[in-house]
Structure 1
């Protein structure tokens, strides 16, 4: 069954607070469903307090995009996520993964242990299990998983409500499409697409700053959308029809430019 469109915006606090609060309210009024916060220590405020503040500014969903499991114990992730669900009255989505490429160097800088990928994935499972226990029978915090390898995809098929297949800059449309088609959830799992580049603009915290938009276009990558909103809308609809993506996540810098197509496609 084709799922309805929804759209999220990764909106880290990169400006003064009044400007950021205005941005949050503008995003909420433009048809976007979810405001998302990256998990990048020391570069911007921590996700939980920033999302709690965002949820108080406007009536929209909020979420992590995504918690890096090596950065904190599974119990801490679960408790924080459950607390955000309670404080936002069910408007929080817990995005979680095993960490960005290069997370090992970041862990060393923070004097934290560098664990192998299999152990990080086990921590993701523990965090989701503990979250379900904390939520109890009367609350269910949606879980969004960023995955790439076969073990991560298998876990996501088991426990996630939404899945985004993590892509590398050189991945082609055909390669990512094949990974999506190999993903068999056996449940009604929503497919999300991380889109860090619109035109020539690369979103902070969503991709390396030296990412080359021309190379993405040459590779026919799914990580980029055309700058023209009409062409972008056509491409978004193509990706839902051909691959099954229904949840699209952009950077805050493109949010105003894409707002008309978001409002149109989401029925706002």
Structure 2
């Protein structure tokens, strides 16, 4: 089944609150579907940041990209997310992950164990269970709008996260390295298809763009070099050519949910206009 395109921007910093809320309103005006926040100690805390964004928008969905399950109290976080769903009018999507490369240092700073790979996947599964229970009204607060539970996004790369996503995810984002090729992405999608079986067609597949055009954006770390044309994290050429690349990737890989840095939102907006609703 071919899903319609959706586009999201990922942002986690602003010089002051007015800029942050203006970013959310601008994303909505440009036709983006979602505003997503990372979960790092160097960026805005996801729940308050997304709450502020939700209160100044009306159709923009908000989501975490992604919550680091290893150093979160799942039941407490699920309660907070249910409150965010209430304040957003049911526009919350919950992204969950097992922790990016630097998450171990964050866990050490917070004084909690990071765990083995298997333990971190188990923590992600536990967080998903607690979120769905909280949204259904389990525990104290029962004000979540999406009582059936929010759409759950899972960041996947290896066999363990693919298996969890096949069972639990509504959305999958391919957590590949920036230089990963379309072939690499296709291998993850193929593994997900095999594991998910009949459920595969219900799963929305996404990927994150790190480079729009020929030059890397200013936010990339020192030493980052321009990506090769066949890297899954880039699109090149005119707006029409970028749109055609994304159409082909949807046909070949099933990728219909495209995310990118908030700093590229204006640059990429013409492509969003070409593909929204298709």
**TM-score between both structures, scaled by the size of structure 2:** 0.88
In the aligned structure 2, how far is the partner of 1:209 from the partner of 1:224?
Answer: 18
Question: Would the aligned equivalents of 1:202 and 1:209 in 2 still touch at CA under 8 Å?
Answer: no
Partner SS for 1:247: strand
Match of 2:228 in 1: 217
The structural deviation recorded for 1:101 is 1.4
Match of 2:269 in 1: 259
In the aligned structure 1, how far is the partner of 2:223 from the partner of 2:171?
Answer: 29
1:178 aligns with 2:191: no
The structural deviation recorded for 1:15 is 2.5
The structural deviation recorded for 1:230 is 2.4
After the TM superposition, which residues 134-145 of structure 1 pair with which residues of structure 2 at under 5 Å, given as runs? 134-136=134-136, 138-145=147-154
Question: Would the aligned equivalents of 2:55 and 2:87 in 1 still touch at CA under 8 Å?
Answer: no
Gaps of 5+ in 1: none
Match of 1:70 in 2: 70
Gaps of 5+ in 2: 138-146
Match of 2:206 in 1: 192
The structural deviation recorded for 1:21 is 2.0
In the aligned structure 2, how far is the partner of 1:139 from the partner of 1:84?
Answer: 15
RMSD: 1.9
1:119 aligns with 2:119: yes
Question: Would the aligned equivalents of 2:70 and 2:120 in 1 still touch at CA under 8 Å?
Answer: yes
The structural deviation recorded for 1:78 is 1.8
In the aligned structure 2, how far is the partner of 1:158 from the partner of 1:145?
Answer: 11
Report the CA distance shift for 1:94/1:203 in structure 2 as closer, same or farther (over 3 A): farther
Q: Deviations over 1:148-201 (max 9, x none)?
A: 111111111101100012101342221111211221223210001111222323
Match of 2:257 in 1: 247
Q: Which moved more, 1:1-10 or 1:258-267?
A: 258-267
Count residues with an aligned counterpart: 262
Question: Would the aligned equivalents of 2:50 and 2:63 in 1 still touch at CA under 8 Å?
Answer: yes
Partner SS for 2:43: coil
In the aligned structure 2, how far is the partner of 1:175 from the partner of 1:210?
Answer: 23
The structural deviation recorded for 1:203 is 7.0
1:131 aligns with 2:131: yes
Match of 1:148 in 2: 157
Q: Which moved more, 1:167-176 or 1:23-32?
A: 167-176
**TM-score between both structures, scaled by the size of structure 1:** 0.91
Partner SS for 2:114: coil
1:80 aligns with 2:90: no
After the TM superposition, which residues 229-248 of structure 1 pair with which residues of structure 2 at under 5 Å, given as runs? 229-248=239-258
